[in-house]
A and B are shown apart, each in its own frame.
Chain A
Amino acid sequence: MNNDYVVKMENITKVFGKVKALDHVEFSLKKGEVHAILGENGAGKSSLMNVLNGIYMPDEGQIEVKGQPVNISSPKIALDLGIGMLPQHYKLVDVFSAMENVAAGSRKTSPFLNKKKILDEMGKLIEQLGMDINPNKKVYEMSVAEKQSLEIFKVLYRGADILILDEPTAVLTPQEIKNLFEIVKKMVATGCSVIIITHKLEEVMEISDRITIMRKGTTIQTVNKEETTPQELAGMMVGDVMELNVPYVPVERGQKCLEVKDITAIDRNKVHILDHVSFDLYAGEILGVAGIAGSGQKELCEGIAGLYHIKSGEIIFEGENIVGKNPEKISQMGISLSFVPEDRLGMGLVSSMDIIDNVLLKDYRNKKGLGISREVSRDKAEALVERLNVSTPAIENHAVSLLSGGNIQKVLLGREIELEPKLLVTAYATRGLDVGSSQIIYDLLNEQKVKMKPIMYVGEDLDVLMSLCDRIMVLCEGRVTGIVDPKKTTKEAIGLMMSGVRSEGEEACSIS
């Protein structure tokens, strides 16, 4: 029966410094199956796949591919064995067409580009898989989903029959996810085997044949889909049974705090990244912002914080228009606005500095004179670490980049909340965090809501948005396609709005 397995990994151990990323992990892949690897962040899913793809060398353990013991020391060798991995960040040449991207770097092509031959070959494969790829379309004109299809296609074209997909659905709309799964099913039908990394349970149940659950660098179990339930999987994933529901706290909403009127912004490619966006934000409410990645969420947040140029329109906060003011001016006006950006280490924090200095970032201006004092910030940092239970060896001389994702976010959000802001804007506050850390973040936000703070919460997980928020504003290509009450709508309805269908609700009507 051993021949049935195309991949067998045994006893794989990988150590980074003091951290055991993988601890005697077992994994096997059968021919023609879709195998999901499920786990929280930091469970070792990506590390394991990087070992299989030759990016990491395991410190211990054996790998067998198609019955042969192998030593995979580079992605090139992996590809020779038929293993291809879809990168999380697409590596495509923007100004090349789909066909040129496929040809570039492929060892099948001759020094001179034989377009006809490649087009023929591509056509066959495209038809076989039912993919939506136009070989002549330039990459910069493509949507995220198209780019993803192209990356998958590239790997297949190069002869891979074992395909690793690392969180492929994170950036897709529900409709696009459906298309992706169709393609996956067709690939399997033609003899490929697929490994899919995810932490979305419903997708696992839909697409996979077998499921391996990982936790803290070890394999917990491999189960057949038919023999399990989402509840059981979630249980194995987080260890002990956890409340998966995001708590909603009812609060009587207060007065209007922020009024965004008809703002428009244009990005580098002259695209209207924000197109006549209008909405209000009230004290004591969490306004969710939903949308496919890149629909203008980032620009909206940064625009409010004074970091993105707003071409026209008004942002009225406590009676003053803050459009055209940079963060320095906004704080000089006495408006304390806290913005928790998407890019935590690149914008919200200084990755190489310790917690004290990162707290100092927002503090140092309060001291008079030319000097800075770390004493106040030290006390604050200590309080923050204790209150939010940040796990760190030290608050001094220990760079925040060395902390785990959850702890980094606790430092950032904790710092912003400590400032007692009049407005809190968060972008993807729980992205990349495990269930436990996310829970703490939700509790913090609810705490602020009870204190009658206006909160804007940009999120990507619709389930979370629908249970956490009082209202959800949906963005699509920079336009507001609806502002809805999550208690009175369905996930599908929001999904439709995300793909551009306008809501018939009353609030949305006032916009158009």
Chain B
Amino acid sequence: MLHIVKKEVPKTREKIIVRLSAVLAALAVASIIVLVAGANPLELYIGIVQGCFGSLYRFAATVEKMVPLLVLSLGVLVAFKMRFWNIGAEGQFLMGAVGTTLVVRLLPDLPLPVMLVLMIIVSFLFGAVWLMIPAFFKARFGTNETLFTLMLNYIALTLVTALQYDFWKDPAANGMPKIANLPENALLPSAGGFNLSILMAVIIVLAMYYFMNRSKIGFEIAVLGESENTARYIGINVTKTIIIAALVSGGLCGMVGMMQTTGVSGALSTEITGGLGFTAIIVAWLSGLKVPFVVVNSFAFAVLLQGASYIQTAFQIPGSVAEMIQAIILFFILGSEFVLQYRLVSDKTKSEVA
């Protein structure tokens, strides 16, 4: 009979080898689907690489897909570090975008720099408030934040739908349910396809690295996440810490709403998130809640996203095939965690003693 034995902590080298083989194995399995879809797998995979790095324009598109995912993942990470399961990044993203649009509607004639700063602040606050609501109830009454944050996603989505189809519907769009595009003085400046949100993301990454690893409050968040009893024992103000973490987590996700509206889509819509708020949860988790790995993994995911959209047009295969490849890779990577942590031992063989 086989049984499962826990391994000692794997070395970094082993981790890299196992993960790389997982990706290769995933690509091998995905080839079958690609063949069924009528394309040559090898050409397709080369196509993905070309689609991401083939030209400066395509590379810019990859980075454009990386930035929102990166910032959302960092936002989710802060909450997760505290074992506060913020499943509501989608909703905070949307609310941030609503806040951004609200600024433009109320003060349409501000000069660009002032407009951008104001939009950053308001989107941050909108996202933060959207997470502070469940955080307050959690700190005060011990409610379950997983369901609460998830439900708030739908409220945010329905609010945006109402804005798009009714309150903020663009009268100039010939009856199309659409919110008017932002004016020139509210769009992120860009050069060669790279817009200013990249710089914002770099600053956020550095700030979050400091916040999580070198700041008092980051340390308190980590302690609270590990054990509330210990937090109380060393005199951490639990309520205050939860609220601050929620502020940062929700705020970052809200800022993504501003980056996407002003930098990519140019207008608020129900499709603006593209499900990134959920993908961010996977990214944060795969990165072991560590900031540097979030950067690496967001890039890897961006490559998959950009590659997928490129091969759709270049190879004329359905978009769902690209999504299946993505899902298969993810599955294999998650599965490889098992290989890293456990090994199978058969009763027959004598186990070697280390």
Which residues of A pack against B, CB within 8 Å?
15-18, 20, 57, 59-60, 73, 305, 307, 326-328, 330-331, 339, 341, 343, 346-353, 357, 360-362, 364-365, 367, 370-372
Residues B222-272 near A (CB distance < 8 A): 222-223, 226-227, 229-230, 232-237
How far in angstroms is the closest Cβ of chain B from A43?
Answer: 19
Known: A73-B1, A364-B216, A371-B216. A327 touches B351 (CB 8 A): no
Whether A350 lies near B351 (C-beta < 8 A) is no
Contact check, B234 vs A361: say whether CB atoms are below 8 A apart.
Answer: yes
Whether A372 and B226, one on each chain, are in contact in the complex, defined by CB atoms closer than 8 angstroms, is no
A60 to B352 CA separation, bound complex (whole angstroms): 11
Asked if A371 meets B214 with Cβ closer than 8 Å, knowing A15-B353, A328-B237, A364-B219, the reply is yes
Partner of B3 from the list A57, A307, A357, A362 (CB cut-off 8 Å) is A57
The reply to whether B215 and A362 form a contact with Cβ atoms under 8 Å apart is no
- What CA separation (Å) do A360 and B6 show in the bound complex? 30
- Is B3 touching A327 in the complex (CB atoms < 8 A)? no
Name the one of A18, A57, A360, A361 contacting B230, with C-beta atoms under 8 angstroms.
A361
Q: Are B219 and A341 in contact (CB under 8 A)?
A: no
B235 & A328 in contact (Cβ 8 Å cutoff): yes
B7: chain A residues at CB < 8 Å are 17
Name 17 A/B residue pairs within 8 A (Cβ), A-sorted: A15-B351, A15-B353, A15-B354, A17-B7, A57-B3, A59-B345, A326-B232, A327-B232, A328-B235, A330-B235, A353-B223, A357-B219, A360-B219, A361-B234, A362-B234, A371-B210, A372-B219
Say whether B8 faces chain A, with CB atoms less than 8 Å apart.
yes
- Please give me the residue from chain A that is nearest to B218 by CB atom: A372
**Is B217 interfacial (CB 8 A cutoff)?**
yes
Whether the pair B233, A348 counts as a contact (CB closer than 8 A) is: yes
Contacts of B347 in A (CB 8 A): 57
* A91 CB, min distance to chain B CBs, angstroms: 23
Name B190-229 residues within 8 Å CB distance of A. 210, 214-217, 219, 222-223, 226-227, 229
Number of A-B contacts (CB under 8 A): 78
CB distance from A12 to the nearest CB of B (A): 13
Taken together as a complex, chains A and B put the C-alpha atoms of A15 and B3 apart, in Å, by: 13
B235 and A350 form a contact (CB under 8 A):
no
Assess whether B233 is in contact with A341, with CB atoms less than 8 Å apart. Answer: yes
> Does B236 contact A328, Cβ atoms closer than 8 Å?
yes
Q: How far is the CB of B266 from chain A (nearest CB, A)?
A: 37
Min CB distance B354 to A, Å, is: 5
**Chain B hits for A371, CB < 8 A:** 210, 214-216
B350 contacts A by Cβ under 8 Å:
yes
B350 near A60: Cβ-Cβ < 8 Å = yes
How far is A371 from B237 in the complex, measured between Cα atoms in Å? Answer: 17
Asked if residues A346 and B351 are in contact (CB atoms below 8 Å), the reply is no
Give the docked Cα–Cα distance between A347 and B236 (Å): 12
Complex-state Cα separation, A341 to B233, whole angstroms:
9
A348 to B217, CA, bound (A): 19
Q: How far is the CA of A15 from the CA of B353 in the complex (A)?
A: 7
Q: Chain B, 320-354, contact with A by CB distance < 8 Å: what is the 0/1 string?
A: 00000000000000000000000001010011011
For B232, the chain A residues whose CB sits under 8 A away are 307, 326-327
Contacts of A357 in B (CB 8 A): 219
Contacts of A328 in B (CB 8 A): 235-237
Tell me if B233 and A339 are in contact (CB < 8 A).
yes
- Known interface pairs A18-B8, A352-B226, A361-B223. Does A372 touch B233 (Cβ–Cβ under 8 Å)? no
Q: How far is the CB of B76 from chain A (nearest CB, A)?
A: 20
Chain A residues with CB under 8 A of B234? 327, 361-362
Identify A327's interface contact among B222, B233, B345, CB under 8 A.
B233
Contact, CB under 8 Å: B214 / A350: no
Chain B residues within 8 Å of A17, by CB: 6-8, 354
Chain B's nearest CB lies how many Å from the CB of A392?
15
Chain B nearest CB, measured from A395 CB (Å)? 16
Task: Report yes or no: B230 in contact with A370, Cβ–Cβ below 8 A.
Answer: no
Beyond A17-B7, A327-B235, A351-B226, 4 additional pairs, beta carbon < 8 A: A307-B233, A327-B234, A331-B235, A347-B230
Q: How far is the CB of B193 from chain A (nearest CB, A)?
A: 37
Q: Is the pair B214, A347 in contact by a Cβ cutoff of 8 Å?
A: no
Tell me, in angstroms, the Cα distance from A124 to B350 when the chains sit together. Answer: 48
Cα distance, A57 to B5, chains bound together (Å)? 10
CB distance from B216 to the nearest CB of A (A): 6
A59 near B351 with CB under 8 A, answer yes
Q: For B354, what are the chain A residues with a Cβ–Cβ distance below 8 Å?
A: 15, 17-18
Question: Which B residues lie within 8 Å of A327 (CB)?
Answer: 232-235
CB nearest neighbor in A for B350: A60
- Chain B residue contacts of A362, Cβ below 8 A: 234
CB-based contact B226/A326 at 8 Å: no
Q: Nearest chain A CB to B30's CB is how many angstroms away?
A: 35
The residue of chain B having its C-beta at the shortest distance from the C-beta of A329 within the complex is B235
Q: Are B229 and A347 in contact (CB under 8 A)?
A: yes
Contact across chains for A20 and B227 when beta carbons are under 8 A apart: no
Closest to A350 in B: B226
**Contact (Cβ within 8 A) A350 B233:** no
A18-B354, A326-B235, A327-B233 known; A351-B216 Cβ under 8 A: no
Contact of B227 among A57, A330, A347 (CB under 8 A): A347
In the complex, per-residue mask of B161-185: 1 if CB is within 8 Å of any chain A CB, else 0: 0000000000000000000000000
- CB proximity of B302 to chain A, nearest CB, Å: 30
Contacts of A346 in B (CB 8 A): 227, 229-230
Please name all residues of chain B whose beta carbon is closer than 8 Å to the beta carbon of A361 when the two chains form the complex: 223, 230, 234
Which are the 3 A-B pairs with shortest beta-carbon distances? Answer: A327-B235, A328-B235, A347-B229
Q: Which residues of chain B come closer than 8 Å to A348, judged between CB atoms?
A: 230, 233
Give complex CA distance A15, B5 in Å: 10
Residues of B close to A339: CB separation below 8 A: 233
Chain A min CB distance to B291 (Å):
16
Q: How far is it, in angstroms, between the C-alpha of A341 and the C-alpha of B227 when the chains are bound?
A: 14
Are A365 and B230 in touch, CB under 8 angstroms? Answer: no
CB closest chain-B residue, reference A360: B219
Alpha-carbon separation in the docked complex, A346 to B227 (Å):
6
Complex formed: what's the CA distance from A465 to B6 in Å? 40
Q: How far is the CA of A370 from the CA of B232 in the complex (A)?
A: 20
Query: Smallest CB-CB separation from B237: which chain A residue?
Result: A328
